[in-house]
């Protein structure tokens, strides 16, 4: 069976493994006006991975968990958000942290370090905070997938590449911009957590064969185009040049 990946905008994805396991990552759908796919359209969710508590990553996780009852793999601050503020069943949630691998439905999910923050301000004014995470898992057919969360560049990406051996990276290259996703004072930010150039360095350190470009709404935005041009320029010089995949929100790629 093939492996497929569907992009939801920002850092949200659904991946169907070669064994037919449906994994959703960072489900910012109903609250994202730029995403044509909504929670009601997902059909099946077996495992939900949440990298951190930010609104555009935690997204509509509460509704998703109530409706589809997947196993949820996340950090403890995300667990608290789901259970206390979104009425999720705690028996569905597998709290973890960097290094503590979890196997569910035959898929081994390996959480790894992310150089970022995880936070969310709740309806009663509480500030939830904890460790942000990335995830690596084998989807079959040679596709070992790495979702970095919103990490900055850090040198232990080389260790992740050497030890976990991802082949496909969902690599963010920009700050998402548009209705419902822009940060306050967006015009003051000069880059996201990783620049396009840093994303290419990270991809080489990780040893990625393929890069699914991530963390945008508009697939034609400047930073996506800059990353693609950097890959082309490196290829012309005989340097590192992974295969690149750019998807519009709602679009699916099948391997």
pLDDT digits (tens, 9 = 90+) for 111-141: 999 999 998 888 898 888 999 999 999 999 9
pLDDT at 185 over 80: no
CA torsion, points 29, 138, 93, 62, in degrees to nearest 10?
Answer: 0
Residue 185 vs residues 57, 190, 192: alpha-carbon distances, Å: 20, 11, 13
Length of the chain: 255
Stretch 1-15: mean pLDDT:
96
Residue predicted with more confidence, 177 or 60 = 60
Whether pLDDT at 81 is above 80: yes
Domains by residue range for the chain, with CATH: 4-248 (3.60.15.10)
Predicted pLDDT of residue 168: 98
pLDDT of 27-78, one tens digit each? 999 999 999 999 999 999 999 999 999 999 999 999 999 999 999 999 999 9
Cα(226)–Cα(228) distance, integer angstroms: 5
Indicate the DSSP class of residue 153.
P
What is the average pLDDT score of the chain?
95
What is the predicted pLDDT for the residue at 250?
98
User: Is the model's pTM score more than 0.85?
Assistant: yes
Among 8, 40, 119, 24, smallest CA distance to 73 is for 24
Strand partners, 110: 136
Confidence of residue 187 (pLDDT cuts 50, 70, 90): confident
């Amino acid at each position: 069976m093939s492996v497929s990946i569907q992009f939801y905008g920002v850092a949200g994805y659904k991946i169907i493994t070669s064994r037919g396991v449906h994994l959703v990552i960072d489900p910012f759908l109903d609250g994202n006006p730029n995403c044509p796919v909504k929670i009601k359209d997902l059909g099946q969710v077996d495992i939900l991975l949440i990298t951190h508590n930010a609104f555009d990553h935690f997204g509509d996780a509460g509704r998703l968990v109530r409706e589809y009852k997947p196993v949820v793999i996340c950090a403890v601050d995300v667990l608290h958000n789901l259970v206390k503020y979104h009425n999720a069943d705690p028996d569905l949630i597998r709290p973890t942290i960097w290094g503590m691998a979890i196997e569910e439905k035959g898929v081994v999910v390996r959480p790894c370090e992310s150089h970022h923050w995880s936070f969310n301000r709740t309806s009663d004014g509480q500030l939830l905070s904890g460790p942000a995470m990335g995830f690596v898992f084998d989807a079959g057919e040679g596709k070992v997938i790495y979702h970095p969360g919103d990490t900055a560049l850090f040198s232990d990406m080389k260790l992740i590449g050497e030890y976990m051996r991802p082949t496909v990276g969902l690599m963010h290259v920009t700050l998402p911009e548009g209705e419902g996703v822009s940060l306050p004072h967006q015009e003051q930010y000069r880059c996201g957590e990783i620049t396009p150039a840093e994303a290419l360095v990270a991809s080489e350190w990780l040893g990625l064969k393929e890069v699914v470009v991530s963390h945008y709404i508009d697939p034609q935005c400047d930073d996506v185009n800059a990353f693609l041009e950097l890959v082309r320029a490196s290829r012309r010089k005989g340097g590192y040049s992974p295969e690149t995949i750019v998807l519009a929100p709602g679009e699916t790629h099948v391997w």
